[in-house]
Structure formats: C-alpha cells, structure tokens
Amino acid sequence: MPRLGDDIDDYCSRCQRTTDHSVVVMSGEEVEKTRCRTCNYEHRFRKNKGGRKEMSAQEAFAKVLASVSGQMSEAPKTKKKP
C-alpha cells in the first residue's frame, strides 16, 4: 500500500520511459499524482502504462548489431590526391 511521499515506478511522458516517482497526491488509498524523480515532472498516476514498451536486452542487442553491421558494409570513400 503506497503512502504519500513513497517511491514507486511509473511511466513519465516527458522522459518517455519508466522511472522512479514520488507519490504527491492520494485520494483515499489510491495514488492520483506522481512526480518524476529524474525530471521533476508532475503528472497523474499512469500505473506504469506508457506509450511504448521497454525494449528487451535481446531486442536492444539486435538493434545495435544491425546499425553497426550496416555501417561496416559501407567502406569509407577516400579521395586520391593528384
């Protein structure tokens, strides 16, 4: 059961990811508003449901590998001096 001032995880629309938040407004036993501890943005409690899903470690590795292998296949062009 969270209390006023407790730290909880929530989705921050400004940071666009799940971060640590502090509870700032409660209505009975329900959390109404939170404040992001990264950017200090205060917003309604989203119950850690955001726009985009966090990438898994395997998805992040595949994305980095694809960007690196794409760059390596293209040889840098050099100019010859006359």
20-54, pLDDT tens digit by residue? Answer: 999 999 999 999 999 999 999 999 998 877 656 66
Return d(Cα 36, Cα 68) in angstroms, integer: 33
Phi then psi dihedrals of residue 12, to 5 deg: -105, 125
Residue with tokens 């990811």: 17
Cα separation, 21 vs 12, whole angstroms? 9
Total residue length of the chain: 82
The answer on pLDDT for 76 being more than 90 is no
